[in-house]
Amino acid sequence: MEHSVVAGGGDTCRLIACPRPFSVDRIDKKVHAGATIAELLGGIGLDPDRIFARVFIDDRLIPSAEWQSTKPSAGQTLTVRVVPTGGQGGGKDALRIVAMIAVVALAVYTAGTSLPGSLAAFTGLSPAVSQAIVLSSIAIVGQLAITALIPPAPRQLVHHTGDCHAE
């Protein structure tokens, strides 16, 4: 496959990346020119096949379909901004959040009923300790039920396979 090359000058290019969409952390370093965008992304810990990002060489937007073949030339600036997406859970995360809010509401409501008082009378514990036991028991059992009914999406690990030749 033929590689796209964008013109520039020198033997290094500048890589500026914001790898996490909700963070102000930034990577700004010089890298050897000649590596593809995909290789450079891998060199900073981003899997080009799994991220959604806006990638520019100077002011030109590079579509993700061209990351495997496009190489920034020396003297150019490669800018990478990872963009948040809807997630991989198909809406499961939002449903899990709503379910957990319901569990918290149930725990707070139940703690205000006569159940903690009955537990205190039955066990001889103080009412405050009984209330804490009821609250935490409902929260734990609720979280276990949510995890069983709406399992979280499996996390994908990024494997570092190469060096991006940083200076």
Q: Give the pLDDT confidence score for residue 155 in this predicted structure.
A: 64
Mean pLDDT by runs of 10 across the 167 residues of the chain is: 45 92 89 91 90 93 94 93 70 80 89 85 90 91 91 63 45
- Residue 44 confidence (pLDDT): 92
Confidence (pLDDT) at 17:
94
Domains (range + CATH), the chain: 4-82 (3.10.20.30), 92-149 (no CATH)
Assigned token pair, 33: 């020119």
Instruction: Provide the token pair at 18.
Output: 């914001």
CA distance 58 to 138: 55
What pLDDT score does 53 carry?
92
